[in-house]
Amino acid sequence: MSDSLQHLRILCAAVESRNFKEAARRLGISPQSVTRSIQYLEGHHGEMLFLRNTRKVQVTSFGESLAQRARSALLEFDDLLNSNKVEEQQSLSGLVRITAPSAIGPSLVTPVIARINQQYPNIRFDLRFDDQRTDVVNERVDIGIRIGAIRDNRFIVRKLRNVHFHVVATPALLAQQGVPQKPQDLQQLPCTAIYDRSSGKAWPWEFINNQLLQHSNPVLLCDNIEAEYKFILNGGGIGQIIDFFAHRSIASGQLQEVLSEFAPEPWDMYVFRPQQGPVAPRIRIVFDALVKELSVDKRKS
């Protein structure tokens, strides 16, 4: 199909320019390619398209007629291709609803969304950053990002990376309160915790071999991981936080890690979308971009 179209384009250029070399120059091909295409069309139709001698090339009446028909066909074909591109652009528009934990949403997800928007300016975004598990189906979320296991077979799921947990505090607080030697020592120290709306209690801290530590009286109980991190960073307490916050503060000396030998197995981070029939192109574009960019570990960048 593509070769036949190219032969017709060459014919039209040759008829318009009345010169094979000029036609070749206009199309960015060799004069030999023009000659081969004309010979192919002449053999296919059993008619001469050009009368050629050493001095000039003259188009025949059949050649003129065929070129005129070819122009009409090529214009219609090009219009069809362009209309498909317009329809494709229109399909890459509309709203994409995304939910992600507040711990990673602003710093990791938002930059990816901004880059997608530059490439596809007609796609709009509704971002929800929440550390509690969102009811994706009822709230009509298109794409979700989650840290921790996903066991719902209604979702298309892609693993992105591992997430590590660190128990940290400021050096000044540890100098004042003492450095814990085992997880049980934390019960006597000012610790922070994240509020679990589903249970109405603090999320327990996890350690090696699935050991859990439940704080009965945390110095700070909140429902936002970034707020917890800022509290720890300002010397308010000891906290167990994920590497997205911990690694730079540990490297800079602002925070000191303790109990690293008791660290739990890393959790997995996933991107997922509901499995509900055909997927709109805009959602597939955003989903694939998130998978590609968030799978790259930038914790040490």
Q: What does the pLDDT look like over 70-100, one tens digit per residue?
A: 988 888 787 666 655 555 555 688 999 999 9
For residue 299, the model assigns a pLDDT of 46
Residue 142 has pLDDT above 70, yes or no: yes
Question: Could you give the CA distance from residue 244 to residue 15 in angstroms, rounded to a whole number?
Answer: 65
Question: What distances in angstroms separate CA 259 from CA 185, 204, 222, one per listed residue?
Answer: 10, 16, 23
Chain mean pLDDT for the chain: 86
Cβ-Cβ contacts under 8 Å for 174 (sequence gap 6 or more): 238, 256, 258
For residue 116, the model assigns a pLDDT of 92
For residue 274, the model assigns a pLDDT of 81
Q: 263-285: per-residue pLDDT in tens? A: 999 999 999 888 766 788 899 99
Cα dihedral 178/180/186/187 (nearest 10): -70
pTM exceeding 0.85: no
SS3 call for 41: helix
Question: Could you give the CA distance from residue 286 to residue 27 in angstroms, rounded to a whole number?
Answer: 38
Residue 210 has pLDDT above 70, yes or no: yes
What domains can be seen in the chain, in order of their start residue? 2-90 (1.10.10.10), 92-162+268-294 (3.40.190.10), 165-262 (3.40.190.10)
Instruction: List helix spans (H) across 51-156.
Output: 61-91, 110-119
Both tokens of 183, joined, read 């997880």
Higher pLDDT: 94 or 168? It is 168
What is 147-158 written as a DSSP string?
ES----TTEEEE
Pick from 111, 119, 228: nearest CA to 167: 228
Segment 229-241 shows an average pLDDT of 96
For residue 75, the model assigns a pLDDT of 82
Residue 8 has pLDDT above 50, yes or no: yes
- What are 157-160's contacts with CB under 8 Å, separation 24+? 157/270, 157/271, 157/272, 158/270, 158/271, 158/272, 158/291, 159/268, 159/269, 159/270, 160/268, 160/269, 160/270, 160/271, 160/291, 160/294, 160/295
Segment 206-215 shows an average pLDDT of 92
What is 204-270 written as a DSSP string?
PEEEGGGEEE--SS-SEEES-HHHHHHHHHTTS-BEEEEHHHHHHHHHHTSSEEE-GGGPPPPEEEE
Question: Could you give the CA distance from residue 256 to residue 204 in angstroms, rounded to a whole number?
Answer: 21
Percentage above 70 pLDDT, the chain: 88
Both tokens of 209, joined, read 């071999």
SS3 call for 58: strand
For residue 136, the model assigns a pLDDT of 61
